[in-house]
Amino acid sequence: MGSDPNSGQCAFRHATTSYELGSDPISPIGVFDSGVGGLSILRALRAHLPHEDFSYLADSGFAPYGERDDAFVVERVRAVAQRLLDDHAVKALVIACNTATAAAIHLLRDELPGLPIVGVEPALKPALALTRTGRIGVMATRGTLASAKFRSLHDALRGQAEFLLQPCDGLADAIENHDTGAIAQLCTRYAGALGRFGTGPGEIDTLVLGCTHYPFAQRELRSLVGDAVRIVETGQAVARQTRRLLEAASLSKAGGEGSVSYLSTGDLDKLRLSASRWL
Q: Are strands 92-95 and 206-209 parallel, antiparallel or unpaired?
A: unpaired
d(CA 122, CA 92): 21
d(CA 55, CA 42): 10
Long-range contacts of the stretch 125-131 (C-beta < 8 A, 24+): 125/153, 125/157, 126/232, 126/237, 127/161, 127/206, 127/208, 127/230, 127/232, 128/157, 128/160, 128/161, 130/205, 130/206, 130/230, 130/232, 131/161, 131/205, 131/206, 131/230
d(CA 33, CA 238): 14
Among the listed residues 10, 97, 168, 187, the single catalytic one is 97
d(CA 93, CA 15): 13
Among the listed residues 10, 168, 187, 211, the single catalytic one is 211
d(CA 37, CA 85): 21
- Is 97 catalytic? The answer is yes
Give, in order, the Cα–Cα distances in Å from 213 to each of 65, 104, 126: 12, 19, 19
DSSP state of 161: B
List, by residue number, the catalytic residues: 97, 211
